[in-house]
Amino acid sequence: METIEHIRASRPHPPCSRPLVTLSYAQSLDGSIAVRPNAPLALSCSETKVMTHALRAVHDAILVGINTVLADNPKLTARRVGGPHPRPVVLDTRLRFPDEARLLHHPKGVIIATGPHPSPARVQALRQRGATVLPLPLSDEGIDLHALLRELANLDLCALMVEGGARVLTSFLRARLGDWLVLTVTPHLVGGVHALSGPTELSEVPPAEVDTFPGLQAWRWTPMGRDMVVWGRLAWPG
């Protein structure tokens, strides 16, 4: 797919100051990612699932929030295209990462980004299972994403794919930390949980112009199976 080659060509190589960030997720026509919270809903068709795995394969790391791990227990591999597999990163402020998570068996080893004062016993238990635990400062949105990206760059992880969930995607947009967006849209009306957890631009007076919000520049769309993939470089207002 053309977008994957564009992203591959634009990604930095070690050493890097921060990873290139691609936001990628699937939603229904009305912007839903699930029927209700913590209830997985398969949205992508087989063709866009393969595309997503190919996109994973050109990134060094893939990031989700702890709620995605608890609800979906994902593998976060690129198995549909034979790899290479990105290294999984989980945002987990309160270190709720489950002992039965399949990510503990990931071939690259999972990175768990948590708050600044995690339980030493819990950290030790997870490290004994092969996880890398990164205590990080907090911001108003949760884990300080700028600090996290610096740590990932120090590990020579120079291309990061962010798959969600809603709060994680919104936090990256509010922090203006994104280079590419790859959005799969399935032609169904769900009326469920929104793909984003709130406005991407916060102010006391709500903006009256849509150009105040992040958007795409030189964007394109590609039909794929029964779905449509919209992609382009993220553009920030101001």
Tens of pLDDT, residue by residue over 35-73, are 988 788 999 999 999 999 999 999 999 999 999 999 899
pLDDT at 1: 76
- Residue 23, classified by CB atoms within 10 Å of its CB into exposed (0-12), middle (13-18) or buried (19+), is buried
Distance CA 195, CA 146 (A): 22
pLDDT (tens digit, 9 = 90+) per residue, 207-222? 888 989 999 998 999 9
Read off the pLDDT band of 201 (50, 70, 90).
confident
CATH superfamily entry for domain 2-235: Dihydrofolate Reductase, subunit A (3.40.430.10)
Whole-angstrom distance, CA of residue 216 vs CA of residue 231: 8
- What confidence category does residue 101 fall into, taking pLDDT thresholds of 50, 70 and 90? very high
Q: What is the mean pLDDT of residues 120-138?
A: 96
pLDDT at res. 14: 93
State whether residue 88 is helix, strand or coil.
strand
Confidence of residue 205 (pLDDT cuts 50, 70, 90): confident
Question: Contact 27/80 with Cβ under 8 angstroms?
Answer: no
Per-residue pLDDT of 7-18, as tens digits, reads: 999 999 999 999
pLDDT at 49: 97
**Lowest mean pLDDT across 44-53, 95-104, 205-214, 224-233:** 205-214
Domain spans in the chain, listed from the N-terminal domain onward: 2-235
Which pLDDT band holds residue 147 (cuts at 50, 70, 90)?
very high
- 8 A C-beta contact, residue 189 and residue 29: yes
Q: What percent of the chain has pLDDT over 90?
A: 86
